Structures are given as C-alpha cells and as structure tokens.
Amino acid sequence: MKNRLSILHVSSEVAPYAKTGGLADVVGSLPAAQSSLDHDVRVILPFYRVVGEGNFEVRKVISKFEVPISGTIKEGELFEAESDRNVKVYCVRQDTYFDRAHLYGTPEGDYPDNAERFAFLCRSLLPVCDALDLKPDIIHCHDWQTGLIPSYVRTLWSDEILFANTSCCYTIHNLAYQGLFPREVMALIGLPDEEFTAAGVEFWGRINFMKAGINYSDVITTVSPKYSREIQTPEYGYGLDSVLRERSEDLFGILNGIDTDVWDPENDRFLKANYSVHDLSGKKKCKDDILETFKVNIDSSKAPLFGVISRLADQKGFDLLAEIMDDLMTLDVGLVLLGTGDQRYQDMFQKIAVRYPGKMGVRIAFDNALAHKIEAGCDVFLMPSKYEPCGLNQMYSLRYGTVPLVRATGGLDDTVEHYDPRTGRGNGFKFYDYAADELFKKIREAIEFYHDREAWSHLMRNAMQTDFSWARSARRYLEIYENTIEKRMKGVSQ
C-alpha cells in the first residue's frame, strides 16, 4: 500500500468559499486534517457567484475543457482559489449554471435545472483530472449533488486509465435531500439506459442521484455512528433504508470534527471579548453584547439566555419550539434566534418575537459573524431536532461553554452526554421523545441547574473540554480509504 494517497473531494459547498450549512464546514476542514497527515488532498466545488465575490484570490488553471451534457458539449473553465491550508481548492466555472444569486434555488424553490447543473459538475471531473494529470486514489463525493460521479467512474469511465486505480467514497450528510428527477434526465446526464434499474439509479420510476452515490461507490460513510444505524430503518431511511441495509458492510458512521481554529473562543475575532476554560470572564461580555444586539432586556447575571442558529426547516424541531413558546416566555429567560429557510418558520418566529419584546430577539439572515457571537453569548443552545445526521452547532456550543440542550437523535445523541450532578459527568441535556412537553421539561431542568452556580460552572467546563477536533475522524477516514483500496485491488487481481 502506498503511503501518500491522492485524495480528491468533490462537494457542492466548501467553507469559506460557498456555504449554506454544515456540509461546507466539513469539506472546509476535513481535507486540511487529511493533508496534515501527509496526503495530497484537493477539493473541487462549483464557481458560484459568491465565489467570485469572496475575499480571496482565484486564478485560472484550465482555460477550457469540454463536458458532454444534454446531448451537446458545454465548455468549462477551472480556477484555483487561494487557500490558507495545505489543500488545493479548484472551482469549476460555467456561468450559465453557477453564476446565480443562490447555490441551489431561490426562497420560492429549487432551480429547475439542478439535475443539469450538478451533472455538469460531476462530468467535468474527467476532463479536469485529465488536464491536471491527476490520478486520484480516492474520489470522495459528498451528498446528492456529487452522487453521479461514482456511477460515471464505474460505467462511462470504466476504461479510463486515469481512474484505473481509483476507489470512490461517498458520504451522506443528509439523507433527506436525495436529488430526485424524472426519468427523462437519463438522456441529459448521459448514463447508459441499462443503469436505470433498482440496482442502479432508478427509484420508484425516477432517477435518484443519492442512490447512484450509494450503489456505485466502493464505500459509504455518514457523519455519525448513530445516524449510520438510523438510516437503515424505515423511520429515518427516506425510502433508501433497504438500499443501505444491503450495503451495511460498506457503510460506516464517522463523527464529524470541527474546525478548532475557526471556532475557538480564545481567538475568535468576532467576539466582544475572548475567553477560555481557565478564564470565563469574557463570556459575560459576550452575553451582554448579544443582549444588546437583540434588544433583549433580561438581567444578564440572573436569567439564562437560550440561543438557536439554524436552517429553518422541518428537520430542526421548530414545531416543538413553537408549541412551548408562550410557556417559555412566562419564565425569567431570554431567547435569541438566527436563521433562514422555510417562509412559514420565518413568519412564525417574527410574529412570536413581536409578542415578546425585550425577551425574544429574531434575526432572519445568514450571518456568520452573528453566529459566532450567539455561540459565545448564550447560556444554553437549543437543538430539538427531529433528526440530525451529525449537527455541528452543538459541538461549537460545547467549545464555547454554551450548554447544548438537544433531542437524542443522530449525532446529537453521540456528542451530548446528559449531565449527572451525582457523578459530575456530562456536557449537556438530552430529551428523547419528539414531544413538546419533553422539550419543555428539559428546559426547566436546565434552568434549575443554571441557578446552581457551582453545578453550572462544572457543566460549562465539562462542555468546553470535550474534544471534537478532526484528528481522530481524519485518521478513521484514512483507514477506511486504505481498506477500500486494498479490497478493490484484491478484487481486481482475482
């Protein structure tokens, strides 16, 4: 086995270049952790409008490559974006597809040509690798937008010398978003018709990009051990549970890490004051700052402040929060919420905030600086998710001494250990049944502990000392790559 692997990640989002959620954070930080273990690691993402507007240099590395798509040839260009990590970051440029205001769609809905846009990204891989003379050992694909790549590698590109020794790893970051398109899309993406079967890309008469990723990859991972078990059940499988059960030997749950340079209360440039587990005094200043920002007038040293930062989507448990809002607001607490997403949740929270001036603050926006300030300035971070593949915000909260209160699902269950005052163990609060009264009970319990200053300070310190750096998970990915390559080589030589 060679020691230095050539690893190529392909993702529709990579922080800090383009981000709508946790996927960007993961593909923004895992490659750097792998590169620090002395591997050649590169990343490809689309050249969206935000990439061009970003605060970093880009330079053209391939002025023209050709991609067959929709029965014709479309041209693309490749840019390399400046990176402060030891990772090469490439952006595939095709302005008719990617020079748009959003990544996936407007608030009214998805872009109607998403199949074509992301098929273009996937099919550009061959000419791009060709031009770069890159023969990756591992192509690591992330979520539905890149699901076609393994299917191309195993069908259209099976004789390509560039990929003769390539294994495909596919990571499911969220099984609920699968990339489902009508059958006619087969002609557009150029896969042979015989792949339109249940063992290929077909899913109830339609084409499913995520299923392609699962069926044609050598190995599949998802972002927490618990979620890897959950998605093999009908309740969390979104119709793909049986497909995943069939591949259970090749399916691994690896907990995401966090970027401890970007999310670090000791050095976070967005905060009013920095602090650490050894000196928490700055956290109070961060709380005062956030109270002022949101015009919440609770007594900063006596009343706990709850925080939420989230995509406003059904998955995140906002129906539970809505049910308890009136009861919660009768207590001596404050609540701040930052989010964007479904119109009905945006409207709902804005309406509730109007009813509780001075107690609840809502900001409908995507604001990275404010997200850092909330992580630091709150006492309790709420994540009552219906399901949560991994979740990053609870890990950021832990690092910032903001105690997470979560529902025990997916990665939330794997990362949060319920506080036990008798043993002093635990780093947060968990409830189990997806029910509003369970959430409310847990919130009341957290408030009680908050008023026990000794217990709370112990809990905060436990939280801040939980280690979610990438080192362990990055090594686990490498082990999985190596086993996969070995297995594949054995298969080929037999």
Closest distance to ligand ADP from the beta carbon of 289 (Å)? 17
Which lies closer to ligand ADP via its Cβ, residue 28 or residue 334? Answer: 28
Which lies closer to ligand ADP via its Cβ, residue 367 or residue 438? Answer: 367
Q: In DSSP terms, which residues pair with 92 in a beta bridge?
A: 46, 78
- Residues 127-186 binding ligand ADP (CB under 6 A) are none
Closest distance to ligand ADP from the beta carbon of 393 (Å)? 4
Binder among 367, 417, 438, 445 for ligand ADP (CB under 6 A): 367
Place of tokens 């990275």: 368
Q: Which residue is nearest to ligand ADP (CB)?
A: 22
Contacts of 33 (CB under 8 A, 6+ apart): 257, 470, 471, 473, 474
Which lies closer to ligand ADP via its Cβ, residue 16 or residue 68? Answer: 16
The token pair at 266 is 């000791």
Q: How far apart, in whole angstroms, are the C-alpha atoms of residue 486 and residue 480?
A: 10
Which lies closer to ligand ADP via its Cβ, residue 177 or residue 419? Answer: 177
Binder among 371, 406, 439, 459 for ligand ADP (CB under 6 A): 371
Which lies closer to ligand ADP via its Cβ, residue 198 or residue 365? Answer: 365
Give CA 372 to chain center in angstroms: 17
Task: Please tell me whether residue 25 binds ligand ADP under the rule CB under 6 A.
Answer: yes
Give CA 255 to chain center in angstroms: 11
Q: How far apart, in whole angstroms, are the C-alpha atoms of residue 448 and residue 28?
A: 38
Q: Do 364 and 339 touch, CB atoms closer than 8 A? A: yes
- Residues 252-311 binding ligand ADP (CB under 6 A) are 309-311
Task: Please tell me whether residue 415 binds ligand ADP under the rule CB under 6 A.
Answer: no
- Residues 373-402 binding ligand ADP (CB under 6 A) are 390-393
Instruction: Give the side-chain half-sphere CA count within 13 A for 136.
Output: 24
Other residues' Cβ atoms within 10 Å of the Cβ of residue 482: 17
Stretch that binds ligand ADP, among 18-26, 74-82, 183-191, 264-272 (CB under 6 A): 18-26
SS3 sequence, 224-285? Answer: CHHHHHHCCCHHHHCCCHHHHHHCHHHEEECCCCECCCCCCCCCCCCCCCCCECCECHHHHH
Stretch that binds ligand ADP, among 15-23, 58-66, 238-246, 479-487 (CB under 6 A): 15-23
Task: Please tell me whether residue 405 binds ligand ADP under the rule CB under 6 A.
Answer: no
Task: Please tell me whether residue 213 binds ligand ADP under the rule CB under 6 A.
Answer: no
Binder among 10, 21, 265, 300 for ligand ADP (CB under 6 A): 21
Closest distance to ligand ADP from the beta carbon of 375 (Å)? 8
Which lies closer to ligand ADP via its Cβ, residue 23 or residue 231? Answer: 23
Task: Please tell me whether residue 361 binds ligand ADP under the rule CB under 6 A.
Answer: no
Closest CA to 149 of 186, 191, 180, 113: 191
Q: At residue 276, what is the residue type?
A: S
Which lies closer to ligand ADP via its Cβ, residue 404 or residue 426? Answer: 404
Place of tokens 């699902």: 409
Task: Please tell me whether residue 238 binds ligand ADP under the rule CB under 6 A.
Answer: no
> What DSSP state is assigned to residue 264?
-
Which lies closer to ligand ADP via its Cβ, residue 22 or residue 200? Answer: 22
Stretch that binds ligand ADP, among 19-27, 127-135, 319-327, 435-443 (CB under 6 A): 19-27
Total number of residues binding ligand ADP (CB under 6 A)?
A: 18
Type and span of the H or E element at 132: helix 125-132
Stretch that binds ligand ADP, among 142-150, 180-188, 295-303, 367-375 (CB under 6 A): 367-375
Q: How far apart, in whole angstroms, are the C-alpha atoms of residue 471 and residue 484?
A: 20
Binding mask 305-344 for ligand ADP (x = CB under 6 A): ----xxx--------------------------xxx----
DSSP sequence for 393-461 = HHHHHHHTT-EEEEES-HHHHHH--B-BTTTTB-SBEEE-SS-HHHHHHHHHHHHHHHHSHHHHHHHHH
Task: Please tell me whether residue 96 binds ligand ADP under the rule CB under 6 A.
Answer: no
Q: In DSSP terms, which residues pair with 488 in a beta bridge?
A: none
Task: Please tell me whether residue 27 binds ligand ADP under the rule CB under 6 A.
Answer: no
Type and span of the H or E element at 92: strand 88-93
The token pair at 278 is 């050894």
Closest distance to ligand ADP from the beta carbon of 477 (Å)? 18
Closest distance to ligand ADP from the beta carbon of 427 (Å)? 17
Closest CA to 136 of 170, 158, 165: 165
Task: Give Cα separations from 90 to 25, 39, 51, 87 (angstroms).
Answer: 17, 17, 11, 10
Q: Which residues bind ligand ADP (CB under 6 A)?
A: 21-23, 25, 309-311, 338-340, 366-368, 371, 390-393
